[in-house]
A and B are shown apart, each in its own frame.
Chain A
């Protein structure tokens, strides 16, 4: 019999409703999987076994009473530890928030609970979501279930590793420059960054406010759609929340791609992309053409400048957002003679090297005399990029590319050189700058057995088109490989 931890959300939901098993059994299967894999992976910072079982019991009772809250009812899920959870420690992977127990829930957490989902715990991340490998966590790195000598990607590496190995059936992550899509690619998962504003960020510990979005990790396109549908929608508590109708998400999953106009992004087709990844993507382009899609090459020259613009805009916004960690209202305090000394000492002690580096970079980019040359210019480049996307979407419905320039890299490989780490986001950043939805779907394994991700970008609020193509890519790729660690035979390390 299949271990319950390996079921998709859709399969688990069907089993729950048939009475084949309970949410408590499903939750215990995920917790048992965590019990044997956590010593190998360190996907979680907090596992809330007691709270999860209580929520599962309540979900079972509701279902027995004829109350059905939809696809996530009774499903055990994980949440990245930069989304606050009332009564459950939330650290954002930082020493400065060690021991912080939030007095409120993020809106996404409330929405999952309202749908009767079971929250298993909080997953590891690069400190304040700043990183591409989950090595910047103050609590130690997360490892990739496909090869534990490698990174899971980042910054949402804990969520990716948990869903990949089966210690959660789905998870939420956040994506500022690729932090959902890149780890999804490296762990063989579906990951989606929705349109800016579609998911509330109330209770998401802010990194770069004009870029951050929350989105799902899942083992199938349909599961990712269910997760996104559960958390999407206007929230008056988030001033940047989109006030129009919530976009359609799963309406075109079965529509196929006949007549769909797909642009292949020229700037991400050659140099700098691992040849095995290029080949896997090219095979998918051919398969999509055979399935009736119309493919053509498109060029967005400003994407060549996206990485540079991002590494000015994101640190600038971070330097402002992280000013709130000053040892006054919450988190770490290191004593000082004056309040200013206390603040500077607390921040120096509480922030890790990458966070300090980005605060310094952002402070510099915003400071008098440099603002126009750096931050101001980056914002203009952002406009040029958005204009190029708008013109391209006159000709095509969606744009495709690889999700990541490489498959999962070795732990420690890039930590000494911040700039080389930043290049890990080269494929994903443009969608954040544009505010558009973008997702990754696994399309195969490289020669070393590591997953390869295929990226789909769509115009703002056209999630339905993104999911339409994602569903076809999933059907054509028939990616059903699982990491070796995802078996009940694995023993704790």
Chain B
């Protein structure tokens, strides 16, 4: 089947503010790649379970005990903007 991509929608989901030219370029490349990747549909997989992880492991738990974590000031030092003990960001809710 021909691959159709609403590239503007995908870019919005991916939080990438791309120019119209870039969107068009990436969109065309994605179609090429996906038309090749579609080959995975050529193998019969009825009843085959998916592999999400190569080792037969379930969740890894540790004892629930208090441990030191990274130093807060050192971590905040790497933030583009911080205020007191917090990361600072622009407003989150839209104003109308």
| Interface of A toward B, CB cutoff 8 Å | 100-104, 196-197, 210, 236, 239-243, 302, 305, 308-309, 311-312, 319, 323, 326-333, 335-345, 347-348, 351, 356-357, 359-361, 363-365, 367, 373-374, 376-384, 386, 418-419, 422, 433-436, 460
A–B Cβ pairs within 8 angstroms, 22 of them = A236-B60, A240-B53, A240-B60, A241-B60, A308-B37, A308-B40, A311-B36, A326-B15, A327-B80, A333-B81, A335-B90, A338-B90, A338-B94, A347-B16, A356-B16, A356-B26, A357-B29, A363-B13, A367-B10, A377-B45, A378-B40, A384-B48
| C-alpha gap A487/B30 in the complex (Å) | 44
Q: Which residue of chain B has its CB nearest to the CB of A327?
A: B80
| Interface of B toward A, CB cutoff 8 Å | 5, 7, 10-18, 22, 26, 29-30, 32-34, 36-43, 45, 48-55, 57, 59-60, 62, 70-71, 74-75, 77-81, 87, 89-92, 94
Q: Are B45 and A308 in contact (CB under 8 A)?
A: no
Q: Are B55 and A242 in contact (CB under 8 A)?
A: yes
Q: Min CB distance, A312 to chain B, in Å? A: 5
Contact partners of A337 in chain B: CB under 8 A? 90-91
Q: Min CB distance, A482 to chain B, in Å? A: 36
| Secondary structure of the B contact surface, majority rule | loop
Q: Are B17 and A345 in contact (CB under 8 A)?
A: yes
Given that A312-B40, A360-B26, A380-B49 are contacting pairs, would A367 and B55 also be in contact in the complex, using a CB cutoff of 8 Å? no
Contact partners of B12 in chain A: CB under 8 A? 344
13 new A-B contacts at CB < 8 Å, known A338-B94, A374-B40: A103-B75, A196-B55, A236-B60, A243-B57, A309-B37, A309-B40, A330-B79, A337-B91, A342-B90, A344-B15, A376-B50, A383-B49, A383-B51
Q: Min CB distance, A45 to chain B, in Å? A: 18
Contact partners of A379 in chain B: CB under 8 A? 50-52
Q: Min CB distance, B3 to chain A, in Å? A: 9
Contact partners of B90 in chain A: CB under 8 A? 335-339, 341-342
Partner of B33, one of A102, A197, A419: A419
Q: Min CB distance, A124 to chain B, in Å? A: 22
Q: Are A339 and B91 in contact (CB under 8 A)?
A: yes
Contact partners of A328 in chain B: CB under 8 A? 79-80, 87, 89
| C-alpha gap A101/B70 in the complex (Å) | 13
Q: Min CB distance, A368 to chain B, in Å? A: 10
Contact partners of A365 in chain B: CB under 8 A? 37
Q: Min CB distance, B25 to chain A, in Å? A: 9
Partner of B18, one of A312, A331, A356, A363: A356
Q: Are A374 and B37 in contact (CB under 8 A)?
A: yes
Q: Min CB distance, A352 to chain B, in Å? A: 12
